[in-house]
């Protein structure tokens, strides 16, 4: 029996050496050490031996099993290493291949419009001011000469949080807040931000959109200052050969109030589909700050005057980039947004 065992051991070790891959090693393991293998058989047959022989044989069988197992593990390690080396040899890296492009994000078209306008005004000495989107009725309406029950409030219906707090309908409350803060000092600010109205969404309306408010207050601020400022804005946003015209309009917080049009950048004024065949495109509302608004914020309307204007960022972006539906700005569709890669500057 001892002889048989030695032979088995030799055989198993030889086969382990001969195995050239992990699968073959496993076959050897199953064949010799497995439940149905000869070593297990020998162990099972121990019962038939005499009590003196049993421990001796038991120790021998165990020694053989341990030896074969140890050899098996060693071969596994060697073959695994070999497999890795072979794989590495096969996988060479071609460092001359062109790299994969990393897709870079780009600024949202509305952000770009806001930043361009901010840049222009900062270069003219304006500061950028901000205010809350959840606003007091007082700053959104009352301080702007729109007392409770004023009919002009109907055009700017909004979402009320309480009787006295609402989602602001325009960026004009930042005017009122800044005037209150500056306590009679001169002001030159530009205020971009989100505004809200109870509007049904369609191609040109959105319940949420962006405005940029401008306000200048000081001694001797005149309508001609407003006109010159708006002219610079029109040229910066739509090209140096743009002309502007002011038409009379109404806002409760400005007097006189105007609507500014620019000469059509597509047809140059001859008439086309962009300007609805008028040669002019309506851009923004503006006017001279109403004396009531100045007085309510603590300014002496006999000593100082000012102008204000409000620009819709979406409208500018739609015109500038030829966007036909305002909803494109909000849906985050990368097919729309990625078009602004090329012109990023």
Residue of the chain from 173, 193, 252, 285 that contacts ligand PHE (CB under 6 A): 285
Asked if residue 173 binds ligand PHE (CB under 6 A), the reply is: no
Site for ligand PHE in 301-330 (CB under 6 A): 308-310
Asked if residue 221 binds ligand PHE (CB under 6 A), the reply is: no
Residue 298 class from Cβ within 10 Å (0-12 exposed, 13-18 middle, 19+ buried)? exposed
The whole-angstrom separation of Cα 260 and Cα 284 is 5
Asked if residue 286 binds ligand PHE (CB under 6 A), the reply is: yes
Q: How far is the CB of 213 from ligand PHE (least distance, A)?
A: 6
Residue closer to ligand PHE, measured from CB, 256 or 269: 256
Q: How far is the CB of 195 from ligand PHE (least distance, A)?
A: 7
Q: Within 13 Å, how many C-alpha atoms sit on residue 162's CB side?
A: 5
Asked if residue 170 binds ligand PHE (CB under 6 A), the reply is: yes
Asked if residue 254 binds ligand PHE (CB under 6 A), the reply is: yes
Residue closer to ligand PHE, measured from CB, 145 or 254: 254
Residue closer to ligand PHE, measured from CB, 11 or 199: 199
Phi, psi of 192 (to 5 degrees): -90, 155
Asked if residue 131 binds ligand PHE (CB under 6 A), the reply is: no
Residue closer to ligand PHE, measured from CB, 37 or 193: 193
Q: How far is the CB of 112 from ligand PHE (least distance, A)?
A: 21
Compute CA distances 277 → 111, 281, 315, 316, whole Å: 30, 10, 18, 19
Number of H helices, E strands in the chain: 11, 9
304 close to 218: Cβ distance less than 8 angstroms: yes
First to last CA, the chain: 89
Nearest C-alpha neighbor of 68 from the set 114, 7, 126, 150: 7
User: How many residues bind ligand PHE, per CB under 6 A?
Assistant: 11
284, two tokens: 């923004």
Residue closer to ligand PHE, measured from CB, 72 or 212: 212
Residue closer to ligand PHE, measured from CB, 109 or 287: 287
Residue of the chain from 173, 193, 287, 306 that contacts ligand PHE (CB under 6 A): 287
Residue closer to ligand PHE, measured from CB, 105 or 186: 186
230, two tokens: 């708006």
In the complex, which residue's CB is closest to ligand PHE?
A: 310
Residue 182 class from Cβ within 10 Å (0-12 exposed, 13-18 middle, 19+ buried)? middle
- Binding-site ranges for ligand PHE (CB under 6 A): 170, 172, 213, 251, 254, 285-287, 308-310
């Amino acid at each position: 029996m001892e002889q048989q065992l030695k032979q088995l051991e030799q055989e198993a070790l030889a086969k382990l050496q001969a195995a050239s891959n992990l699968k073959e090693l496993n076959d050897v393991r199953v064949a010799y050490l497995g439940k149905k293998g000869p070593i297990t058989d020998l162990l099972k047959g121990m019962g038939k031996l005499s009590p003196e022989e049993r421990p001796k044989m038991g120790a021998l069988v165990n020694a053989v099993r341990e030896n074969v197992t140890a050899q098996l593990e060693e071969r596994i390690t060697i073959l695994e290493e070999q497999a890795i080396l072979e794989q590495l040899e096969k996988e060479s890296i071609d460092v001359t291949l062109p790299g994969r492009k990393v897709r870079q994000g780009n600024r949202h078209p509305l952000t770009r419009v806001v930043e361009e306008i901010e840049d222009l005004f900062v270069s003219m000495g304006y500061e950028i001011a901000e205010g809350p989107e959840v606003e007091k009725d007082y700053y959104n309406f009352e301080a702007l000469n729109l007392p409770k029950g004023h009919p002009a409030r109907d055009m700017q219906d909004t979402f009320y949080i309480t009787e006295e707090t609402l989602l602001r309908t325009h960026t004009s409350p930042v005017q009122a807040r800044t005037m209150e803060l500056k306590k009679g000092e001169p002001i030159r600010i530009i205020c971009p931000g989100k505004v809200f109205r109870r509007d049904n969404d369609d191609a040109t309306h959105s319940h949420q959109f962006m405005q940029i408010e401008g306000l200048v207050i000081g001694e001797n601020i005149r309508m001609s200052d407003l006109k010159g400022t708006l002219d610079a804005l029109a040229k910066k946003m739509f090209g140096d050969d743009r002309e502007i015209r002011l038409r009379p309009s109404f806002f409760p917080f400005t007097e006189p109030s105007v609507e500014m049009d620019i000469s059509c950048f597509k047809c140059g004024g001859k008439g086309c589909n962009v300007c609805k065949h008028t040669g002019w495109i309506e851009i923004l509302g503006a006017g001279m700050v109403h004396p009531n608004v100045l007085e309510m914020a603590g300014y002496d309307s006999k000593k100082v005057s000012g102008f204000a204007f409000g620009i819709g960022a979406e409208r500018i972006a739609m015109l500038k980039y030829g966007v036909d539906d305002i909803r494109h700005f909000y849906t985050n569709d990368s097919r729309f947004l990625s078009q602004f890669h090329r012109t990023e500057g």
